[in-house]
Amino acid sequence: MKAIEVNSHGGAEVLALAELADPVPGAGQLLVRLAACGVNYIDTYHRRGLYPRPLPFVPGTEGAGEVVAAGAGVDPAIVGRRVASADLAGAYAEFSLVNADRAVPLPDDLGDELGAAAMLQGMTAHYLVHDSYRVQPGDSVLVHAAAGGMGLLLTQYATALGARVIATASTPEKAELARTAGAAEVLGYDGFADAVRDLTGGEGVAAVYDGVGRSTFDGSLASLRRRGILVLYGQSSGPVPPFDPARLAAAGSLSLTRPTLTHFVVTADELNRRAGDVLRRVADGSLSLRIGARYPLAEARRAHEDLENRRTTGKLLLIP
Ligand code: NDP
């Protein structure tokens, strides 16, 4: 099969097209012929070695397609069904393996591309607004990078729960997308904390959803109301340096959490509940999924370069 392989950690140039043996499903596994693979920021952390993985590896964890074989112990009735997963063992490929209990059947009315695009960022947006901080009707919340893959979904989920979303975005085009997703106000990054105070009558927001990290961290803390919570869920601008927890007390008994999806989809029941909510909303149109760009598998390098250079909006897909 054709796949993208990483043989050494580094920039996007280490993403090389390779011809690899087709994977064979082991006990409890499915072999999926992928119709679309999701590109996620975490793939760039794996590529760089920020989150180390043994070399060589096929990057990517998200995708959707048809089950073409099942390993021992798996009901063979699944063969021929379409599934999506955020736990594929190497998604930048024509075929990938996944544990059967980490794959979710796709509804008939949802195409493979939307299925692939929805899983990782959709389930993340779901746990961020329900579990990391439970958004309440009437809350003001700040969502950074609101035109990104995560940002557009978070803005829609938080708005649907009755929040007033204040967003950041770097260009007028991105600001317009954030507004379309439901943001009531869209700010640039310069001086955003002061602007958030002005927009909230001096009080600050109940929660900040920050996937940008290093460059926004201080401003995010300064945007919170008394006893507000900073949900730091990523680091697209780089990791946040070491930090003195006493700052949380001084700034108003704030909370800080640094969640990751793995711990919010631990059981099959939790996975199916979150994925089910996301896929149902995408299928009925109440959650709009913007596929910002599709790239042929061989152009994975260009996808990473675009993502890391802030040239993208919404979800990026690789098409094998
Ligand atoms: P995005 O589509 O959001 O792309 C990143 C965006 O971040 C850019 O478009 C840009 O938007 C903004 N940004 C701000 N500063 C920088 C910078 N210095 N370099 C690059 N981008 C910058 O990516 P994703 O939706 O895939 O991921 C967003 C974040 O969410 C990532 O940090 C990712 O790791 C995290 N994440 C965390 C999960 C979890 O469970 N914890 C799960 C999924 C994602 P703009 O130009 O408007 O500033």
Q: Domains, the chain, ranges and CATH? A: 2-120+265-319 (3.90.180.10), 137-258 (3.40.50.720)
Divide the 320 residues of the chain into consecutive groups of 10 and give the mean pLDDT of each group: 98 98 98 98 96 95 98 98 98 98 96 98 98 98 98 98 98 98 98 98 98 98 98 97 97 98 97 97 96 98 98 98
Q: Tell me the HSE value of 25 on the side-chain side, using a 13 A CA sphere.
A: 24
What's the pLDDT at 52? Answer: 85
pLDDT at 148: 98
Atom from ligand 1 closest to the CA of residue 315: 2
Note the ipTM here. Answer: 0.99
Point out the ligand 1 atom lying closest to the alpha carbon of residue 258: 41
Q: Angle of helix 41-48 relative to helix 300-308, nearest 10 degrees?
A: 100
Distance 314 CA to ligand 1 centre (A): 10
Residue 96 pLDDT: 98
Given a contact cutoff of 8 angstroms between Cβ atoms, the answer to whether 283 and 109 are in contact is yes
Cα–Cα dist 7/16, whole Å: 8
Q: 108 alpha carbon to ligand 1 midpoint, in Å?
A: 31
Residue closest to 73 by CA, chosen among 101, 49, 95: 101
Residue of the nearest CA to atom 32 in ligand 1? Answer: 234
Can you tell me whether residue 110 is helix, strand or coil? coil
pLDDT digits (tens, 9 = 90+) for 52-99: 899 999 999 999 999 999 999 999 999 999 999 999 999 999 999 999
- Ramachandran region, residue 162 (left: φ > 0; alpha: ψ -120 to 50; beta: rest): left
What was the pLDDT predicted at 285? 95
Distance 26 CA to ligand 1 centre (A): 34
